[in-house]
Amino acid sequence: MKKIKIGFIGTGLIANVHMRSLMSLIEDEIFPIEVIAATDVDKDRLEKFCIKNNIEKICNDPMDVIKDKTINTVYICTPTKFHKEYVLKLLKEGKNIFCEKPLATNLNDVKEMCNAAKHSSPISQVGFVIRYSPIFEFLKDELLNNEELGKMMTIMFRNDQTFPIGGKYGSFWRSDKNVSGGGTLIEHSIHDIDILMAIGGKFKSVYCNTRYFSKYNVEDLGILSYELENNVIGTLTSCWHNIPRRDERLIEIFFEKGWIKIEISEIIKIITRINRKTKKLDPNKVQKQICEKKGINPNYLLFPYYYEDLEFIRAVYEMKKSKTGFESALKAHEVIDAAYRSAKEGKIIKL
């Protein structure tokens, strides 16, 4: 591909995050990239986005981006309800697609989108950003392969966040199940499901409880007990709350002879223990080590979207399959669907 010419459908918070990544990639001159068009239902937001990022084509209709022959790659950054419509139309036009997570509001729509993608040649990637973080790559490829740890026993995962409908998020749509598909499980912890599968393989079963503390029709607490195909059992606690400016993930993995703890918030902490030896790792040094191996910029410790967008653009440029394509999304959505069924029926759901 000579030049990657990009259009945006949706220009809210996450679109601005991806634009920051793309501008860094353009400055680094890694790949030939140009963002040439954008569209949004909010015309004021659209105009500000285009002026800020020097985007020439301000499109009032998403079909103007979808049908534009000069655009070969499109970022879908809309509320979840609209993903399916735009994905199917873009696939017909032969465009490469980056679609934010969740892929759709329900499993049947995800299956339809995946089936359409199988019969289309463009590159597609879903926004499972954590999979592209060098810190996660270090966990998966370096820490977990230490034979001194012994067999993995359990993974305890906690993910909590200020209810993302106001403040910096500006996304009231997340409070409406018809638009979002659900609450903290599908909207936030679909990331965590994806990570757990990357660490321990497919899910064998889930048991889930949900609670609704807010006035909205989306769950703000979900607690999963699960078993993975490597016989690891564990828990995932997913919570939206009203504690200001709090957004944290905590992963603890216990082995026969050791323990790994990764805490991700405004700072990153990595602690390991093997037998009697406890070690605190410097996340900056870890990131630098991984990035030097890959020959990429190590300076985005708290901004993993840079690495996510880098790998998407690389996949498009080299016409190679993304590691978080629609099939990865389907696997994560199958677990989320099972979790919701378990909460509704009050029983273990086998996958």
Q: Are residues 87 and 29 in the same domain?
A: yes
Comparing 166 with 215, which gets the higher pLDDT? 215
CA 39, CA 10: separation in Å to the nearest integer?
Answer: 6
pLDDT at residue 169, as a whole number: 78
Tens of pLDDT, residues 4-31: 999 999 999 999 999 999 999 999 888 9
Say if residue 305's pLDDT is above 90.
yes
Q: Are residues 229 and 157 in the same domain?
A: yes
- 221 lies in which domain range? 136-300+330-350
CA 126, CA 342: separation in Å to the nearest integer?
Answer: 25
Please count the other Cβ atoms lying within 10 Å of the Cβ belonging to residue 85. Answer: 16
* Angle (nearest 5°) at CA 104 between 174 and 49: 60
- Beta-bridged to residue 223, according to DSSP, are 209, 237
Residue 126, classed as helix, strand or coil, is: strand
Q: Which two tokens stand for residue 116?
A: 């359409």
* Angle (nearest 5°) at CA 120 between 115 and 123: 105
Say if residue 1's pLDDT is above 70.
no
CA 208, CA 349: separation in Å to the nearest integer?
Answer: 9
pLDDT at residue 166, as a whole number: 73
Q: Are residues 228 and 294 in the same domain?
A: yes
Q: Are residues 198 and 249 in the same domain?
A: yes
Question: Is 79 part of a structural domain of the chain?
Answer: yes
Tens of pLDDT, residues 151-200: 999 999 999 999 998 777 778 999 999 999 999 999 999 999 999 999 99
Tens of pLDDT, residues 256-301: 999 999 999 989 999 999 999 999 999 999 999 999 999 999 999 9
Question: What is the pLDDT of the chain when averaged over all its residues?
Answer: 96
- Beta-bridged to residue 260, according to DSSP, are 253, 272
Q: Which residue has tokens 């299956």?
A: 111
Q: Taking the model in full, what pTM does it have?
A: 0.96
Question: Is 306 part of a structural domain of the chain?
Answer: no
Tens of pLDDT, residues 112-135: 999 999 988 899 999 999 999 999
Tens of pLDDT, residues 43-85: 999 999 999 999 999 999 999 999 999 999 999 999 999 999 9
Question: Is 280 part of a structural domain of the chain?
Answer: yes
